[in-house]
Structure 1
Amino acid sequence: MSEKRIFIFGAGYSGKAFGRVNAGSTTIFGTTRSPEKFEALRQAGIAPLLFDGALTGEISDALKKTTHLVISVAPEEAGDPVLNAAREAIAQMPALEWIGYLSTVGVYGDYGGAWVNEKTTCRPVSKRSVMRVAAEQAWLKLGEDIGRPVAILRLSGIYGPGRNGLVNLENGTARRLVKPGQVFNRIHCDDIAGALWQLIEGNISGIFNVTDDEPAPPQDVVTYAASLMGVEAPPEIPFETAQLSPMARSFYGENKRVANAAIKAAGYRFRFPDYRAAFDHMWASGDWRDGEARSPMKR
């Protein structure tokens, strides 16, 4: 089998977790909009390139040798920025074997706390989720047009080192908002990386919910983090009286339990099947504060 060469459009928090798992065994290029972020990408094992919505010669050259393309860029009103800039170039990539698109479970909309899976009808509520559905369809259509497998990874609430309830408690921003019956799924960034590698290794196509096993009330997560730290959890705040940004409030307007059987059927086994396993590990290892300084995991 030929050597993999991976290109990530939008190598942010999840992309860097993906690069760290690799431990330098595969060539990975990744884009950012800011040259100031180049060093963080290099530390994660990713060769940095600048992408601000227009193709550069460097990107075009890298794409010509790329075997696996990962897109982690949010859509805009004008459509998917990567497709807008690079559709023709992607359609002509000579070595391309597989495309992966990182989406969100927000595409399902509100199901009143009921379980959803990949066959559930998407009923997006927010404008950003409506745009996500359109972007998913556009990438699936491109794959169909050029005869390449496309995997859509629908991610739940992303957390990990540097982004978690332990950090929020330490810096005083943790809140326990209580909306009766409300649950959310979550996903540790290392499991996003692991699922992505699993699909890449097999050039597997399809739609996959990449999410943990346990949808849970958000206040329970804060309480558990506080118990690990040996500090008092912040007081409960009724959702009705909470001061929230419009975006934060919109998240609470959607309530569903997201099933993950498809990615497990594709062979992936979660490193952190629930938030307790992840928080236990982060607290014991001490890597909860900073996602940039970790040593690479082995896969």
Structure 2
Amino acid sequence: MEKTLLSIGHGFSARALAARLVPQGWRIVGTTRSADKADQIAATGVEPVVWPGADLSALVAEFPNILVSAGPGPDGDPVLNAVQQDIARAAPNLRWLGYLSTTGVYGDHGGDWVDETTPLSPATKRGQARVEAEARWQAIPDVPLHIFRLAGIYGPGRGPFAKVRAGTARRIIKDGQVFSRIHVDDIAQALELSLNSPNPGAIYNLCDDDPAPPQDVIAYAAELLGVSIPPAIAIEDAEMTPMARSFYAESKKVRNDMIKQALGWTPSYPTYRAGLNAMLALED
């Protein structure tokens, strides 16, 4: 297997994957929209490329493994808008293409369970854009596509501790509201397993084993930090941006059985409690 990977939209999850692959001798090229982030990417052993700007067509033709983390914007999927024909031409030479999507494609299920066979019925514009992007990727013939539907991502530098410490965290209560989550290191582990065992056409949910109400996560973070638990606020009384409120439009618990059975994946952080404890330990 040629250890080379093109990472388009080299963000939080892709950086975690690179941290696993670079020490194994992988050559990774990661795109970023910001020249300011290029030095940060280079410091991790990844070759930075600023895109838009660089010749993405040439890179697509060069790499047998491609990870697409860039999400759709107002005009749809930015990668397909730029290089869909190039990806179609490169398809016979591609070994693995991973597309990071979201469990938001399932929409609202009133707190019930969903899995990869659940019909897609997004409740938000973001979710609808992801459904459309997934369909466009799936429509390209012969691409060894792997779709990963990610639950709410957290990890070092992204989680509740900063807001709890600053006193700005809120425990917003909506009856029956429940979310699934995933630690970024568990995403990276799953992507590495998939790279090692490609299964073109696969769709995998990525989440932990413990869907939970968001207010419970905030309360546990406060307990770990030894500070007062933020007071509960009914969602009807909470001042929230439209973006923040949209997250509460969907309530579901996500199953992860398929990726466990297909790839032998086992989350290192099967609960938010395990994940938050590990994050706090890193700070010591």
Q: TM-score, normalized by length of structure 2?
A: 0.94
**Alignment match, 1:291:** none
Distance 1:239 1:85 in 2: 41
Structure 2 residue aligned with 1:153, among 140, 143, 148?
148
Residue 281 (str. 1) matches residue 278 (str. 2)? yes
Aligned equivalent of 2:42: 42
Alpha-carbon distance, 1:72 to partner? 0.8
Task: Look up the match of 2:116.
Answer: 118
Which of 206, 219, 224 does residue 223 from structure 1 map onto?
219
Q: TM-score, normalised by structure 1?
A: 0.90
Equivalent residue number for residue 75 of structure 2: 78
* Aligned partner of 2:94 among 96, 99, 105: 96
Q: Contact between 2:98 and 2:145, CA under 8 Å: does it hold in 1?
A: yes
| CA distance in 2: counterparts of 1:281 and 1:117, whole angstroms | 28
Gaps of 5+ in 2: none
- The aligned residue for residue 174 of structure 1 is 169
Q: Distance in 2 between matches of 1:214 and 1:226?
A: 19
Number of aligned positions between the proteins = 280
CA displacement, residues 102-131 of structure 1 (integer Å, 9 cap, x when unaligned): 000000001111100000001111111111
Equivalent residues of 2:94, 2:144 under 8 A apart:
no
Q: CA RMSD in A?
A: 1.5
Unaligned ranges ≥5, structure 1: 288-299
CA apart distance, 1:166: 1.4
For residues 249-279 of structure 1, give each alpha carbon's deviation from its aligned partner in whole angstroms, at most 9, with x where no partner exists: 1110111111010111122111111101111
- 1: CA distance between counterparts of 2:68 and 2:102? 13
Q: Secondary structure at the match of 1:7?
A: strand
Determine the C-alpha separation between the residues in 2 that align with 1:131 and 1:47.
30
- Select which of 229, 232, 254 maps to 2:228: 232
What is the match of residue 3 of structure 1? 2
- Runs of 4+ aligned structure 1 residues displaced above 4 Å come to none
Distance in structure 1 (CA, Å) of the matches to 2:280 and 2:74? 40
Q: Is the 8 A contact 1:110 1:125 kept in 2?
A: yes
Q: Structure 1: how far apart are the matches of 2:177 and 2:137?
A: 32
Aligned residues of 2:148 and 2:206 also touching (Cα < 8 A): yes
Please give the per-residue CA displacement for 1:28-87, whole angstroms capped at 9, x wherever unaligned. 1111110000122123332111112x6x33x33333321111111111343211011111
SS in 1 for 2:273: helix
Q: 1:138 aligns with which of 127, 130, 136?
A: 136
How far, CA to CA, are the matches of 2:222 and 2:84 in structure 1? 47
2:269 corresponds in structure 1 to 272
State how far apart, in whole Å, the 1-side matches of 2:6 and 2:82 are.
15
